[in-house]
């Protein structure tokens, strides 16, 4: 049976002519593992954000994980703690565990969906190494307060900016406000490589460590070896007192997390359209926000405040307590009418099985649990046009009229 096409799909991908040409050329050259295109993509991404270095990796989860793994070179020990919000896509918490740290969860604020900065300080212990705020649904976390706590308590700040491409906080780009920032480039995200992730940092040494981490912890950091741009002889490989081949010296516990050339080709095309994609998504985000704001007795969405611009990743919808229908009834109606949606994640410590061993109890993160039980999100992507937005308006109005 052919699957019925959704009238408003959740995500999309823009594949440009340039991407197709680059992919064909890469295939013909028979060099498709990480190389020239990945490097070009990194340089352009870093330029877009005005930062020194961008290090491309295979997923957003790896971007989170590698950014944290850098902390081992800064004195962190296995089991040290990373403070994260209790509500996020599960990969934020998974990444902490992948790296061997302990996630310490802090409840969110129901209105912003982000970590409650008033609760962060009491989560700091002797073993805390970093705070990793998530800018959920593109809404910037309260970076002034987070950075202030981090400074006072000597913690690193790693932004999980997976969903926050194009977001601004007090005129500055989200992704440039901490020590490092991790983006997902998964297909539903604003800049995409299909699957992929990228880490931004202004610190050259951290960038070098990240390049080593994504390639098994390799010692050699030179362009020829790390970027795989030539299969020729590299003098630096043997340029050490022992004359050892440093491509086969592994300085740290690494990952296998490189991006390939075909993914970078998609990313390069995506970057060329960044302004157009952003403009269309912003338009859709604002128009859909207006629809939701017509029903304040039943539902709400995040509010863009004066000091910020929300990165138009998706539109979250959270039902109010007094609403006479459940989230699942609302979602079923949307789905039946061709509007694709996703739930608004889970409280990782209390609703995701993978974190059960940490011993948290349901009820400990009431705001995250509320949003998880009452929230959903729908696409605002660049292929949604005004007719589809009008259609969404009618679908929601019909549903509300029947309740």
Contacts of 273 (CB under 8 A, 6+ apart): 14, 16
Pairing assessment for the beta strands 314-319 and 375-379 based on DSSP bridges: antiparallel
Catalytic residue among 98, 135, 165, 189: 189
Instruction: Measure the CA–CA gap between 7 and 47, rounded to whole angstroms.
Output: 36
Annotated catalytic residue 381: no
Smallest CA-to-CA distance from 192 within 48, 34, 60 is with 60
Check binding of 86 to ligand PLP (CB under 6 A).
Answer: no
Check binding of 178 to ligand PLP (CB under 6 A).
Answer: no
Identify which of residues 60 and 312 has a Cβ nearer to ligand PLP in the complex.
60
- The residue of the chain with the least Cβ separation from ligand PLP equals 60
Nearest-approach distance from CB 359 to ligand PLP, in angstroms:
24
Check binding of 140 to ligand PLP (CB under 6 A).
Answer: no
Binding mask 40-69 vs ligand PLP (x if CB under 6 A, - otherwise)? -------------------xxx--x-----
Instruction: Measure the CA–CA gap between 41 and 265, rounded to whole angstroms.
Output: 8
103 DSSP β-pair partners: 82
Among 80, 142, 159, 163, binds ligand PLP (CB under 6 A): 163
Nearest-approach distance from CB 233 to ligand PLP, in angstroms:
36
Tokens representing residue 152 in the block: 């006072």
Identify which of residues 115 and 395 has a Cβ nearer to ligand PLP in the complex.
115
Instruction: Measure the CA–CA gap between 302 and 110, rounded to whole angstroms.
Output: 9
Please give the backbone phi and psi of residue 136, each rounded to the nearest 5 degrees, phi first. Answer: -65, 140
Identify which of residues 88 and 351 has a Cβ nearer to ligand PLP in the complex.
88
Check binding of 134 to ligand PLP (CB under 6 A).
Answer: yes
Identify which of residues 57 and 396 has a Cβ nearer to ligand PLP in the complex.
57
Q: Is 272 exposed, middle or buried (CB count within 10 Å of its CB: 0-12, 13-18, 19+)?
A: middle
Identify which of residues 92 and 382 has a Cβ nearer to ligand PLP in the complex.
92
Smallest CA-to-CA distance from 108 within 76, 128, 135 is with 135
Contacts of 77 (CB under 8 A, 6+ apart): none
Site for ligand PLP in 143-162 (CB under 6 A): 160, 162
184 DSSP β-pair partners: 197
Contacts of 97 (CB under 8 A, 6+ apart): 103, 354
Identify which of residues 191 and 246 has a Cβ nearer to ligand PLP in the complex.
191
Nearest-approach distance from CB 104 to ligand PLP, in angstroms:
17
Q: Are 106 and 119 in contact (CB under 8 A)?
A: yes
Identify which of residues 59 and 346 has a Cβ nearer to ligand PLP in the complex.
59
Contacts of 229 (CB under 8 A, 6+ apart): 35, 36, 39, 223
Among 19, 86, 91, 112, binds ligand PLP (CB under 6 A): 91
Instruction: Measure the CA–CA gap between 339 and 9, rounded to whole angstroms.
Output: 6
Among 14, 34, 86, 88, binds ligand PLP (CB under 6 A): 88
Instruction: Measure the CA–CA gap between 163 and 251, rounded to whole angstroms.
Output: 32
Nearest-approach distance from CB 69 to ligand PLP, in angstroms:
15
- Size of interface with ligand PLP, in residues (CB under 6 A): 15
Check binding of 184 to ligand PLP (CB under 6 A).
Answer: yes
Instruction: Measure the CA–CA gap between 321 and 323, rounded to whole angstroms.
Output: 6
Among 72, 101, 169, 186, binds ligand PLP (CB under 6 A): 186
User: Which residues are designated catalytic?
Assistant: 189
Contact residues toward ligand PLP (CB under 6 A) are 59-61, 64, 88-89, 91-92, 134, 160, 162-163, 184, 186, 197
């Amino acid at each position: 049976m052919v699957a019925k096409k959704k009238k408003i799909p959740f995500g999309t991908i823009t594949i440009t002519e340039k991407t197709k040409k680059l992919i064909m050329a890469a295939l013909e050259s028979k060099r498709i593992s990480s190389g020239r295109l990945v490097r070009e993509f990194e340089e352009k991404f870093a330029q877009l954000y005005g930062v020194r270095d961008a290090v491309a990796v295979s997923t957003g989860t790896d971007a989170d994980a590698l950014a944290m793994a850098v902390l081992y070179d800064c004195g962190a020990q296995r089991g040290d703690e990373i403070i994260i919000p209790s509500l996020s896509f599960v990969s934020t918490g998974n990444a902490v565990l992948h790296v061997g740290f302990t996630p310490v969860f802090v409840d969110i604020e129901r209105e912003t969906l982000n970590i409650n900065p008033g609760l962060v300080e009491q989560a700091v212990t002797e073993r805390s190494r970093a705070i990793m705020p998530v800018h959920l649904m593109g809404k910037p976390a309260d970076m002034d307060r987070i950075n202030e706590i981090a400074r006072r308590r000597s913690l690193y700040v790693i932004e999980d900016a997976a969903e926050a491409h194009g977001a601004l906080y007090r005129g500055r780009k989200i992704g440039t406000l901490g020590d490092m920032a991790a983006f997902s480039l998964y297909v539903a995200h604003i800049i995409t490589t299909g699957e992929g992730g990228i880490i931004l940092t202004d610190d050259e040494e951290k960038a070098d460590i990240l390049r080593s981490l994504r390639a098994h912890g390799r010692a050699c950091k030179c362009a020829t070896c790390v970027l795989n741009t030539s299969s020729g002889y590299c003098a630096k490989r043997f340029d050490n007192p022992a004359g050892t081949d440093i491509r086969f010296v592994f300085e740290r516990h690494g990952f296998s997390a490189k991006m390939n050339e075909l993914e970078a080709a998609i990313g390069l095309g995506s970057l060329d359209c960044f302004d157009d994609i952003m403009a269309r998504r912003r338009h859709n985000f604002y128009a859909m926000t207006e629809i939701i704001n017509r029903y304040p007795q039943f539902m709400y969405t995040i509010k863009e405040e004066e000091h910020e611009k929300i990165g138009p990743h998706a539109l979250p919808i959270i039902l109010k307590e007094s609403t006479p229908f459940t989230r699942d009834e609302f979602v079923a109606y949307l789905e039946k009418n061709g509007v694709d949606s996703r739930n608004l994640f889970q409280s990782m410590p209390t609703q995701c099985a993978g974190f059960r061993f940490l011993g948290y109890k349901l009820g400990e993160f009431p705001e995250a649990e509320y949003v998880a039980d009452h929230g959903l999100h729908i696409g605002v992507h660049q292929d949604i046009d005004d007719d589809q937005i009008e259609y969404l308006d009618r679908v929601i109005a019909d549903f509300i009229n029947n309740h």
